[in-house]
Homo-oligomer: A and B are copies of this chain.
Amino acid sequence: MRLSRYFLPVLKETPADATIASHRYMLRAGMIKQNSAGIYTWLPLGHRVLKKIEQIVREEQNKAGAIEMLMPTIQSADLWRETGRYDAYGPEMLRITDRHDREMLFGPTNEDMITDVFRSFVRSYKDLPKMLYHIQWKFRDETRPRFGVMRGREFLMKDTYSFDLTKEDAVKSYNKMFTAYLNTFARLGIKAVPMKADTGPIGGDLSHEFVILAESGESEVFCHRDLVEMAPPGDVDFDGDLSHIFDERTSLYAATEEMHDAEEFAKIPEDKQLSARGIEVGHIFYFGDKYSAPMNATVMDSNGKPQNVMMGSYGIGVSRLVGGIIEACHDENGIVWPKSVSPFGVGIINLNLKDEDCGIAATDFYEKCQAAGLDPLYDDSNDRGGVKFSRMDLIGLPYQVVIGPRGLKEGIVEVKDRATGERQNLSPDAALNLLIEAFA
């Protein structure tokens, strides 16, 4: 993409109401624009990151055997009355009356609706297990939206729902999602620790939050230090036994504030005790028949007897993750994207648009990067070098290639690694090879 054709409205000033790094940098880097309190437009740069995260989340769900579908944003209040949640949910639920005075709502979550879908079609234990998911916009009418997309009102979430005949089978589904989440967050370039968690308004008796450690985290978390550096499971057989993956992690102490047990924590060797601030990016629940019982979602077992289906739900905050990743990956100059979610692979800076050789070399390098699938952003603007450098640092692409008349005379371009700041002078061909290898 040529910057001259793109839409990248970078701000010079730091917006006054943005108190945390991700909010500040997302506004400054032209990733989002606030439309109303807690409601944002995803400008092209932000949209690219959102889509990359969404796609990684999707791929890992598919690997685990979950099937994608899509439920609507607007739901009927009647469904929520069946489970008693319409009255229980409180003012966070955006309630709507349509033109025929029917009570509707903008879905804050989908347990009730998916249970209705399930009971409409599935009759037999032979159709189980099933894991269904969707990636859809949701709305929670926070009383005080803040921290940009980290606590917005309209937000994008991936939510999966599992259906099993028995609790034993449901725990297998839980372990599949537990495993898929570890792989998902690792691919996103962040370290998310599974922690024993409160079940909140979703309910149930088994629940884990996946938490990124970051100073700006909203709550305090406590865990064994080894959990942070533990490698993800990687390629596993999702039809096989995954309990060891679950056991290996849950045998070490890790808990959110609400579930913290100071006595247990104290038993960890002191140098392994980690108490930090955390950002929740995923939350998984097993809640058995909490929804299937009131909604009468049953399947016939092998004896022909109807049984309430045993359910779990599994959420990842896709739009929240954009902010969460920035909280974990930035420095004083801006964002430092992990390669897997960076909006572009490499930024190319042409230092002198009036120099013909420079223009030819930069365009040639840009086209070679495109052909190699490196998804380059080519700064072909008329701005001064200093403006170009700081903008490129701000938007945080993993690599920058600076092409200027002086270097070109010696046959070199400069490659900068955004994370380390390391610079190398290389021939254009060597620079291209370095980039291709870095993204291989």
Among A2-10, A257-265, A405-413, the stretch that binds chain B is A2-10
Among A17-25, A39-47, A359-367, A423-431, the stretch that binds chain B is A39-47
CA distance A122 to B8 in the complex (A): 10
A99 within 8 A of B: yes
- Report yes or no: A33 in contact with B73, Cβ–Cβ below 8 A: no
A209 within 8 A of B: no
A331 within 8 A of B: no
Interface of A is mostly: mixed
Q: Which residues of B contact A106 (CB under 8 A)?
A: 74, 96, 106
- Report yes or no: A70 in contact with B94, Cβ–Cβ below 8 A: no
Q: How far is the CB of A375 from chain B (nearest CB, A)?
A: 12
Q: Which residues of B contact A154 (CB under 8 A)?
A: 72-74
- Report yes or no: A36 in contact with B104, Cβ–Cβ below 8 A: yes
- Report yes or no: B137 in contact with A41, Cβ–Cβ below 8 A: no
Question: A7-B132, A117-B41, A132-B7 given as contacts; is B71 within 8 A of A102 (CB)?
Answer: no
A143 within 8 A of B: yes
Question: A7-B130, A33-B120, A75-B35 given as contacts; is B42 within 8 A of A70 (CB)?
Answer: yes
- Report yes or no: A141 in contact with B99, Cβ–Cβ below 8 A: yes
Q: Which of B7, B116, B153 is A67 in contact with, Cβ under 8 Å?
A: B7
Q: Which residues of B contact A117 (CB under 8 A)?
A: 33, 41, 43
- Report yes or no: B72 in contact with A47, Cβ–Cβ below 8 A: no
A76 within 8 A of B: yes
Within residues 33 to 77 of chain A, which ones have a CB less than 8 A from any CB in chain B?
33, 35-36, 39-44, 47, 50, 65, 67-76
Closest to A42 in B: B70
Total interface residues on A, CB under 8 Å, equals 53
Q: Which residues of B contact A100 (CB under 8 A)?
A: 143
- Report yes or no: A68 in contact with B47, Cβ–Cβ below 8 A: yes
- Report yes or no: A72 in contact with B33, Cβ–Cβ below 8 A: no
- Report yes or no: B69 in contact with A47, Cβ–Cβ below 8 A: yes
Question: A36-B102, A98-B141, A104-B36 given as contacts; is B73 within 8 A of A41 (CB)?
Answer: no
Q: Which of B67, B73, B92, B134 is A137 in contact with, Cβ under 8 Å?
A: B73
A276 within 8 A of B: no
A15 within 8 A of B: no
A242 within 8 A of B: no
Question: A7-B130, A117-B33, A120-B33 given as contacts; is B47 within 8 A of A70 (CB)?
Answer: yes
Closest 9 CB pairs of A and B: A9-B121, A42-B70, A91-B99, A36-B76, A99-B141, A39-B72, A72-B154, A41-B71, A44-B69
